[in-house]
């Protein structure tokens, strides 16, 4: 079952193996099962430069190829998922740097999903990301996914921690359902007010 929804997943840990990357990967597979086309940006293999404010309002002019590609991918995505490890009661600097390479036009009237990993399934990262997404004019969906170490089994041969806790699987299903329900509504809204990139018109 294919749908036309495109998803960009940004996970803000460069540790490998990474719990954050693992939960984001599980979400990617779940979205793909529902027919979405997904790109999980790997910050270890495709590192991003430190955000230079000179390109704040024109991310496509950034001289760095990865930064330009990130802006293009974000432009054409209906859904953007931000996943983060909890660092010092917040989201990671690596993720913030990636966001600072983008601007409002990549986020406005889009469904944004928030995901985190840290002690006690802390919501500190996603709570703060909600405020950031509001600043970018995106719509962070209500359902969020927050995991802790005991939600996972041992790392597999692909360097992924498989999710072992059934409640996290249920939460991912609800998260994916909500994204797929809302993303077409926001896309229709972007079309109505002339915000869709030309290839979608
Ligand atoms: C700089 C730094 C700060 C951290 N601060 C917190 C914290 O405030 N609360 C917490 O629960 N874990 C904290 N941690 C632990 C990370 O959440 C933990 O290492 C987690 O596994 C990171 O996810 P990852 O496997 O995707 O890298 C911190 C780790 C680092 C490196």
Q: 19: Cβ below 6 Å to ligand 1?
A: yes
| Cα 42–chain centre separation | 11
Per-residue pLDDT at 1: 58
Q: For atom 23 of ligand 1, which residue has the closest CA? A: 85
Between CA 17 and CA 2 the distance in angstroms is 30
Per-residue pLDDT at 196: 75
Rg from Cα positions in the chain? 16
Using DSSP, state whether 95 is helix, strand or coil: helix
Domain contains 107: yes
Tell which one of 13, 25, 85 to mutate to probe ligand 1, the residue whose CB is within 8 A of the most ligand atoms: 85
Domain contains 121: yes
Residue-wise pLDDT for 177-189, tens only, equals 999 999 999 999 9
Residue-wise pLDDT for 14-54, tens only, equals 999 999 999 999 999 999 999 999 999 999 999 999 999 99
Domain contains 1: no
Q: For atom 6 of ligand 1, which residue has the closest CA? A: 87
Domain contains 131: yes
Average pLDDT over residues 60-66: 98
Q: 12: Cβ below 6 Å to ligand 1?
A: no
Q: How many CB atoms lie within 10 A of CB 112?
A: 23
- Where is pLDDT greater, at 1 or 21? 21
Q: How many CB atoms lie within 10 A of CB 29?
A: 12
* Rounded-to-5 percentages of helix, strand, coil across the chain: 45, 15, 40
Whether 43 and 85 have beta carbons less than 8 Å apart is answered as: no
Q: For atom 22 of ligand 1, which residue has the closest CA? A: 85
Q: For atom 14 of ligand 1, which residue has the closest CA? A: 87
Nearest atom in ligand 1 to the alpha carbon of residue 122 is 11
Per-residue pLDDT at 201: 46
CATH of the domain at 170: 3.40.50.360
Per-residue pLDDT at 46: 96
Tell which one of 40, 118, 123, 162 to mutate to probe ligand 1, the residue whose CB is within 8 A of the most ligand atoms: 118
Boundaries of domain holding 11: 6-200
Residue-wise pLDDT for 80-134, tens only, equals 999 999 999 999 999 999 999 999 999 999 999 999 999 999 999 999 999 999 9
pTM of the predicted model as reported, rounded to 2 decimal places: 0.96
Between CA 199 and CA 191 the distance in angstroms is 12
Structural domain count of the chain: 1
Residue-wise pLDDT for 140-199, tens only, equals 999 999 999 999 999 999 999 999 999 999 999 999 999 999 999 999 999 999 887 655
Per-residue pLDDT at 198: 57
């Amino acid at each position: 079952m294919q749908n036309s929804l495109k998803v960009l997943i940004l996970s803000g840990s460069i540790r490998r193996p990474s719990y954050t990357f693992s939960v984001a990967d599980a979400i990617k597979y779940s979205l793909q099962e529902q027919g979405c086309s997904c790109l999980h940006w790997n910050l270890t293999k495709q590192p991003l430069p430190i955000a230079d404010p000179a390109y704040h309002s024109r991310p496509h002019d950034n001289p760095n190829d990865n930064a330009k590609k990130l802006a293009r991918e974000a432009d054409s995505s209906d859904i953007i998922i931000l996943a983060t490890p909890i660092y010092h009661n917040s989201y990671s600097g690596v993720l913030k740097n990636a966001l600072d390479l983008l601007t409002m036009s990549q986020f406005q009237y889009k469904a944004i999903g928030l995901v985190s990993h840290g002690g006690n399934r802390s919501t500190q990262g996603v709570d703060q990301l909600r405020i950031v997404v509001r600043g970018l004019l995106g719509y962070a969906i209500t359902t969020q996914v927050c995991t802790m170490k005991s939600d996972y089994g041992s790392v597999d041969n692909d360097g992924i921690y498989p999710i072992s806790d059934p409640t996290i699987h249920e939460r991912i299903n609800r998260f994916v359902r909500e994204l797929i329900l809302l993303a077409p509504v926001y896309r229709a809204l972007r079309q109505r007010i002339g915000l869709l990139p030309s290839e979608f018109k």
